[in-house]
DNA sequence: ATTGAATCTGAAATTCAATTTCAAAAAGAG
DNA sequence: CTCTTTTTGAAATTGAATTTCAGATTCAAT
């Protein structure tokens, strides 16, 4: 199953950075991967709390940061003030269409757009993210 | 000169909404249009203060909102926490390439991407912004 | 197992931009 | 001029992001 691979990636990252694999980090990792929505810290915190009410919001915040560094999560910025995070590992790069009124959004993968975006980035010395 | 047209647009918008054309609003409008950068409220406030130190930040904030409503300004969201505003009137829709490390960015207009974005939006019932 | 050092955690504090509040000032109507 | 409405801006509030710090936990070496 794919989840194990991602877990390996996370474990690998932690080892590389000489960080510990704690039960909090594991739980947060699991909760995060178990959804396919674009969670805010608060929302993920709520999820995690259902599994283990003792975990603090700060730890969720920090773990999410680690997950981003490990390329497992990706920060996505819809118009609002809250940051959201999506699973990056195993997901193609894609765009989001976000309603400026209600925040509703959809994910869209368009090969031709991707290709042009890549070219555009290359042209200006950027790396697509 | 183009600026007059934009001013007309602003004045028209204010009239429509039965709002007054005050010297503060005029000054903020002028300062905003005089730059081609992507200003935050704070930055625009600084500019305005040089012209009239009595203008308050709140008024800048509110006027910027009006300018957005009038389609003269557009909120753009680079990764950071601060909102930025660019001149929308008279500017083609375009994308931004933003460095995730330093925030440096460039504007890029790519006709083919624009076209595909339009199609994508249409396909899902969105209106490009 | 014990100790000592380093890491991790989470409640609370802090930060900082965004937004709201409210009383005073300015503008408009009569 | 007087009354009413709008506008203004200093100050307060909000809310998410981030930092702080003391206590808990883990690790490594005995």
Q: How many Å from the CA of A17 to C1' of D12? A: 43
pLDDT tens figures, B57-84: 999 999 999 999 999 999 999 988 999 9
Contact B124 A108 (CB under 8 A): yes
Residues 6+ apart with CB under 8 A from A31: A44, A47, A48, A51
State how far the Cα of B20 lies from the Cα of A68, in Å rounded to an integer. Answer: 48
pLDDT at B62: 98
3-class secondary-structure state, position B96: strand
pLDDT at B30: 97
The yes-or-no answer to whether A2-91 and A92-129 have a common fold is: no
Q: Please state which architecture CATH assigns to domain B92-129.
A: 2-Layer Sandwich (3.30)
Q: Rounded to a whole number, what is the distance in Å from the CA of A58 to chain B's nearest CA? A: 19
**pLDDT tens for chain A, residues 1 to 129:** 667 899 999 999 999 999 999 999 999 999 999 998 899 999 999 999 999 999 999 999 999 999 999 999 999 999 889 999 999 999 999 999 999 888 889 999 999 999 999 999 999 999 999
State how far the Cα of B63 lies from the Cα of B41, in Å rounded to an integer. Answer: 10
State how far the Cα of A77 lies from the Cα of A75, in Å rounded to an integer. Answer: 7
pLDDT at A1: 60
| Among B75, B113, B124, beta carbon nearest to A106 | B124
CATH classification code of B2-91: 1.10.10.10
State how far the Cα of B60 lies from the Cα of B45, in Å rounded to an integer. Answer: 6
Domain ranges of chain B: 2-91, 92-129
Contact B75 A79 (CB under 8 A): yes
Residue A105: its chain B contacts at CB < 8 A?
none
Q: What is the mean pLDDT of each run of 10 residues along chain B (129 residues)?
A: 86 96 97 94 97 97 98 93 95 95 92 97 96
């Amino acid at each position: 199953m794919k989840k194990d691979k991602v877990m390996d990636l996370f474990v690998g990252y932690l080892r590389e950075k000489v960080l510990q694999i704690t039960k909090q980090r594991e739980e947060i990792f699991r909760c995060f991967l178990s959804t396919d929505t674009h969670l805010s810290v608060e929302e993920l915190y709520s999820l995690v709390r259902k599994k283990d009410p003792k975990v603090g919001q700060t730890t969720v915040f920090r773990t999410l940061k680690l997950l981003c560094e490990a390329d497992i999560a990706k920060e996505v910025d819809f118009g609002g003030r809250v940051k959201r995070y999506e699973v990056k590992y195993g997901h193609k790069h894609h765009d989001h269409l976000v309603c400026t009124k209600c925040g509703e959004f959809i994910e869209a993968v368009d090969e031709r757009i991707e290709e042009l975006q890549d070219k555009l980035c290359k042209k200006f010395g950027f790396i697509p993210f």
